[in-house]
Amino acid sequence: MKVSRRDFIRFSALAAALACIGAGGSIVARKEEVAKIVPIKTKDFPVGQCRYCAVGCTTIAECEVDETGKVVRVIAIKGDPDSPVNRGALCIKGFFLNKALEYKERPKRPLIRKEWINPATGKPDLNNCPRVKEGITTKDPLGRVPPEEDLKKNFVEVDWDTILNFIADAIERSIKEYGKFSVAYYGSGQLGTEETHVINKVLKGGFMLANNHIEGQPRMCMASAVVGFLQTFGRDEPYGSFDDVDVPDPDTGVHANTFFIMGSNTAEAHPILFNRIATLKYRDPENVKIILADPRKTRVGAIADLWLPFMSGSNLSLLNAMLHVIILEANNIKRVVDVDNAIVELNDGRKVHLKDIDWKYVDIKFIRRHCNFGIIKKVQKVWVLSEYDGGRQKVWDPAYKIGLKAEFYPNPKNADKYKSEEEIEKDWWKGFALYIKFLEDYKPEKVKDVIFRGEKPLLFDRKKGEWVEIKEEEAIRLAAKWFAEGITISLWTMGVNQNVQGAWINRALHALHLITGKAAKPGRHSFSLTGQPNACGGIRAPGALCHALFYGRVVADPVNRKEVIEIWRKRLADYLRKKGYSEEEIKKELDKIQIHDKPGPHTIEMFRRLAAGQIKVMFISTVNPGQSLPYAYVYREGMSRVEKGKPWPLVITLEAFPTTTTLCSDIVLPAASWYEKSFTYGNTERRYQYIRKVVDPPSKEMLPDSVIFAMIFRKLEERGLLPKGFVSCFWPEEYGKDWVKKTIENVHKFEWIDKFTENIWNELRELSKDTFYDLSGMTRDMLRKKVSGYRLPLPSEYHTNPDVKARYDKYMSKITYAYPYDPHIEKQTKKALDNLKKWAPVYAKWVEKLIEEEKKDLEYKRKEKVPENWWVSFYAGCKPVYKRKALPTGEKVPIIDCRAIIWMNPHWATIYDEKEKRFKKFTKVRIIKQRFNPEKAYKGLTPGYKPYDRYEDIEAEVIGDPDKDLNALFTLVLSPPEVPGVRIAYRRPDGKDEVIIDASEYPYGFCTGRVIEHWHSGTMTLRVPEIKRVLPEAYVEINAKLAEELGIKDGEPVIVESPRAKIELKAKVLDPKKALGGPRYDYLFAPWFDHNKLVSFLLRDNFDPFSFQADYKMAAVKIYKGTLPVKQAVPKKIVA
């Protein structure tokens, strides 16, 4: 203490010095002092995007250099003051990033579990080893062994050539015995774009491995946002950028002043962005409004004005209630009386057509010009019971996608049926009327109980400086008012996406913005924040998921498949020709490039199939599913299964750190990390930054993941399992037979890896050309020169068309879909409308007319504070929804009408009664039971891609009246699947009850999440001593009121128990009114970074039936004082 205090005086001295002498002199003095302390030579090297979150701060590495200027080691990571993203700032994770990479126990050579070693030869063996002969393994599904200890104790080091041959043997055998659908890959949004591309290329189009069995944790992170964007705008990724937050628009000077933050602890998960918002708030606390809608008052609460503590899962009721206020209440609409003719009754009894209303809050011009309505006429609650042999056993999943009926107003799918503009307009107004009809049910007074379930919202009283309780309906109205009146940005992350209705909540958030006209305008944006540093740039845009192809294409679309195959064939032919292959040989290899036409299994399904023994060889890279998957225990168990006489499953993990997944892996391949290699990252605002290699990894045998993948596949090329040159074309130099050795020798040269990744990058640029994600103009040279990178779209016209270049240089694609910000809006709009004109000229003319009308409407543009040359075209909307149209000429054109879709998103099962012309709760619940059939999965995935045998399909009835009884309504809501304190059961036709989930003994909600100190599963940040000292282990946040009731004191050990597992955690008691945060009364939170506390054992492994993203935000638990003999989470008997 004394030391610190004495030190403290220093600043007063410095202050005095600065004040008297002036800053300059004092600074020089200080500089000398600093120089005295550290007599080492240092130099700054730009690195590029930070390794951690998707904000994508630009970083600089300060390195110690020797006499020749060569880097000895990295001393510190600093923010780049010139970066438009972080402007020099970093969060503590980034600040200590070099310390994480300096961790001593990183895997340094290829490792294989010792039970794979043939005692006779001393080499790994697929047949003659204890693992196969005796069926033993040292894997640890319970996660009780420290991962670094496991790596040291249970693994042996082998050389690269041996391990590559072993892996190639295993893949070859698996393919020969079970077919290509027995190999799978689970990747990561933390891998570089080029790294993922190597394996994505192979699993999409590589002959014997073209099986689409590729997934990544962006599925668990962003899939719902992807579906939200695709179904609303037709193109994934946010259309605005960070500039909207606080950078005045170059033409109008506008930026946002209202923030609606739902399900995002921005302060801790995206701290740099949060600071930009908080700075606005600090400068102008009265006029900048921040609304926090979250079951936890997260640290965002520090700057919030209003906290809406809705029950986790009730997001849609809240958003629909806000829409109700904005559309109905603000415009005095009582109800819709005639849907077909769009006649409404006003509060004063008058009956008017919708177009005669003088709209308040609703931007009628914007929605008429740019939006269609998506009306869901039937959505039924469906439960599917799937049975797997072993592993997951039995599981109930909600599946409200089955039997869903949606209609569009106007309907571009049948656009050729429209004979006149009046018909289209009539349809449009009908759609709007139906939308309003649907919202009638969401009056704040009617839905407040299902939204808040007893918790009171808090309003921050700025004068008194304290939080005061307000009425629920009042809070909803206030939120809607602020939202509609401000220049608003919505921000959301996992709280929205990790939900069984995640995709629909995304759509509802977009709908809020479209209805109020707060989209594609400076400062107005529905902004989904990505979690992973490269989820946007490496997985979403290049389509490294089971259903997707590159840059907006999908595997199910034959035209898309053909496009990709043609690009690949052309490139490969060029390469092989250069290598001197004959045309005949070339043709043979080209024919091997094929893309399977059915999507592979999504993440949860993939791990269920792995656990059921259907998937034999599993690759995992830079991700920790053993810790991150919901109900991770069953999947850990599945990964750790052994079968006497068989070498399956073989789990191969590429990792830079020991993790809880390496505890369940057979092979660990040592990966180089971040500034030890070169690659490209794309952050959440579509910005691509090139990460430069700065230092060598601790061992020469730690290789970039891109090179590891490429070497494995080059081995398979040699065996004829892949087309020749398919992957080896990326090598910058030609090597002979001993290419493995030579590659490892050269890979750590800066130029080598730079060239290797550039070859891959060029292929990606070609694949992106003319798509909505066009980055074909973003050459590697440009990225090398500019550390903070470029935003897409950056089409190749940038280099040829001066107008595009001027606009890009000025705005840097800060807003897409809007002129002048979007560099390729004219091209894309023209292309889409030309296609539309071919078969639906009337409709196309109507669309074009509305856009032209907007171009001339200066009055509107002045009112909306947008540039005078501004106009909007959602030029991607909405191909993923409408698919393609076959023309008589045989051409199949995408249906794109340049309009977004405003979806209706019910929170509970709903049906439209055509007779009564109104929406009703749909109380018939469909129950399906099916058994997984691995044989179907092996054989080309028939029927469809759902290899199940269905043995029951019935319709049951909800017990009780959902209109009156809240608990009955909770059995009918589509989210959450497991409601705390509620028994979810239905009356079967035979009179018996079908109990799906009984959570009546588990009265509290529970979720997992992130903290500012740690990154995801803590494999990196827990290795930094400074960070570990501050936050060494997981805890559970409890509301002070609940803690008092249960007699729990701060810091005491408590047991949190769900139907699936229990765990001992330290209690952290928080009062939302006093502390910086705190959950609502009946909700608990635990961070999931701690590998000694696998909190994900407690969660349910249900997923959104549209996005297949799992729900991490609502599990039913009970909590009580006590301790457990085991400190790790303890799984209970596996439950459905």
Partner 1 sequence: MIKRREFLKITFLTFLSSVAFASTNRKIEYDEEVIRPPGAVKDFSSRCIRCISCLSACTRVKRYAISLAGISKGLKNLGTPVVENMREYPCDLCMECTKVCPTGALQEIPKEEVKMGIAVIDIDLCLGWNSDICLSCSKVCPFANDVFEFKNSMWGNQPYIKPDKCVGCGLCVKACITKEPAVIVYPIKEYKKIEKEYLTYLEYVENLPYINRYKLVYEINLPRIMKIGVERGREEMVLKQYKIR
Site for partner 1 in 31-50 (CB under 8 A): 31, 33-34, 36-38, 40
Task: Tell the smallest beta-carbon distance from residue 158 to partner 1 (Å).
Answer: 31
Closest CB 1027 distance from partner 1, rounded Å: 7
Site membership for partner 1, residue 21 (CB under 8 A): no
Nearer to partner 1 among residue 281 and residue 569 (C-beta): 281
CB closer to partner 1 out of 77 and 927: 77
Q: How far is the CB of 275 from partner 1 (least distance, A)?
A: 5
We find the least distance from the C-beta atom of residue 255 to partner 1, in angstroms, to be 14
Return the half-sphere exposure (C-beta side, CA atoms, 13 A cut-off) of residue 1080.
26
User: What is the smallest separation between the CB atom of 381 and partner 1, expressed in angstroms?
Assistant: 40
Closest to partner 1 by CB, 7 or 67 = 7
String of contacts with partner 1 for each residue 263-302, x by CB under 8 A:
----xx--xx-xxx-xx-xx----------------x-xx
Which segments of 780-939 does DSSP mark as H helices, in order? 780-785, 802-811, 825-839, 841-856, 858-863, 879-882, 934-938
Comparing CB distances to partner 1, the nearer of 806 and 1076 is 1076
Q: Is 954 in the site for partner 1 (CB under 8 A)?
A: no
Q: Which amino acid is at 144?
A: R
CB of 989 to partner 1, least distance (A): 54
Span interacting with partner 1, options 88-96, 139-147, 621-629, 876-884, rule CB under 8 A: 88-96
d(CA 507, CA 718): 47
- The answer to whether residues 910 and 920 touch, using CB atoms and an 8 Å cutoff, is yes
The widest CA-to-CA distance across the chain, in whole angstroms, is 92
DSSP bridge partners of 983: 998
Which is nearer to partner 1, 76 or 136 (by Cβ)? 76
Instruction: Give least dist CB 304 to partner 1, A.
Output: 11
Helix (H) or strand (E) holding 398: strand 394-398
Q: Among 14, 404, 782, 968, which residue sits at the site for partner 1 (rule: CB under 8 A)?
A: 14
Question: Could you tell me the smallest distance in angstroms from the CB atom of residue 9 to partner 1?
Answer: 6
Cα–Cα distance measured from residue 805 to residue 788, given in angstroms and rounded to the nearest whole number: 18
CB of 560 to partner 1, least distance (A): 41
Label each residue of 455-470 as H, E or C: CCCEEEECCCCEEEEC
User: Measuring CA to CA, which residue among 189, 945, 216 is closest to residue 555?
Assistant: 945
Site size for partner 1 (CB under 8 A): 78
CA distance 296 to 1080: 6
Instruction: Scan residues 990-1019 and list those touching partner 1 (CB under 8 A).
Output: 1011-1013
Instruction: Tell me how far CA of residue 746 lies from CA of 196, 198, 693, in angstroms.
Output: 21, 19, 14
Residue 23 binds partner 1 (CB under 8 A): yes
Compute φ and ψ for 32, nearest 5 degrees: -60, -40
Span of 75-83, 134-142, 412-420, 1100-1108 interacting with partner 1 by CB under 8 A: 75-83
> For residue 497, which phi and psi values (nearest 5 degrees)?
-70, -40
- 830 binds partner 1 per the rule CB under 8 A: no
Q: Which of residues 1063-1092 bind partner 1 (CB under 8 A)?
A: 1070-1071, 1073-1077
Considering only 4-12, 512-520, 582-590, 662-670, which stretch makes contact with partner 1 by CB under 8 A? 4-12
Identify the residue among 45, 62, 981, 1092 touching partner 1 (CB under 8 A): 62
Q: Is 27 an interacting residue with respect to partner 1 (CB under 8 A)?
A: yes
Question: For residue 744, which of 193, 199, 163, 203 has the smallest C-alpha distance?
Answer: 163
In sequence order, the 6+-apart residues with CB closer than 8 A to the CB of 188 are: 196, 216, 217, 218, 532, 539, 621, 622, 623
Cα 667 to Cα 175: distance, rounded to the nearest angstrom: 19
Smallest separation (angstroms) from partner 1 to the CB of 237: 25
State the nearest-atom distance from the C-beta of 494 to partner 1, in Å. 18
Under 8 Å between Cβ of 843 and 415: yes
470 near partner 1, judged by CB under 8 A: no
The reply to whether 13 sits near partner 1 by the rule CB under 8 A is yes
Kindly indicate which of the ranges 377-385, 444-452, 701-709, 1043-1051 contains the residues binding partner 1, using the contact rule CB under 8 A: 1043-1051
Tell me which long-range contacts 543-546 makes (C-beta under 8 A, separation of at least 24): 543/200, 544/187, 544/196, 544/197, 544/199, 544/200, 544/214, 544/216, 545/214, 545/215, 545/216, 545/218, 545/219, 545/223, 545/602, 546/212, 546/213, 546/214, 546/215, 546/599, 546/600, 546/601, 546/602, 546/606
Give me 1027's structure tokens.
Answer: 């960070």
Q: Which residues pair with 384 in a beta bridge?
A: 397, 928
Which ranges constitute the DSSP H helices of 222-311? Answer: 223-233, 243-246, 266-269, 271-283
Considering the complex, state which of residue 8 and residue 68 has its C-beta at the smaller distance from partner 1.
Answer: 8
| Subset of 440-469 contacting partner 1 (CB under 8 A) | 465-467
1021-1040 residues near partner 1, rule: CB under 8 A: 1026-1027, 1029-1031
**In the complex, least distance from residue 1113 CB atom to partner 1, rounded to whole angstroms:** 21
Among 65, 71, 92, 573, binds partner 1 (CB under 8 A): 92
Of residues 291-350, those binding partner 1 (CB under 8 A): 299, 301-303
Strands 488-492, 1061-1070: pairing is unpaired
Which of 45, 65, 71, 75 lies at the binding interface for partner 1 (CB under 8 A)?
A: 75
Q: In the complex with partner 1, which residue's Cβ is closer, 26 or 231? A: 26
Task: Kindly indicate which of the ranges 79-87, 738-746, 892-900, 1105-1113 contains the residues binding partner 1, using the contact rule CB under 8 A.
Answer: 79-87
Structure tokens at 210: 């073209």
Residues in region 1045-1064 near partner 1 by CB under 8 A: 1049-1051
Long-range contacts of 944-953 (CB under 8 A, 24+ apart): 944/598, 945/598, 945/599, 945/600, 945/601, 948/386, 952/927, 952/928, 953/926, 953/927, 953/928, 953/929
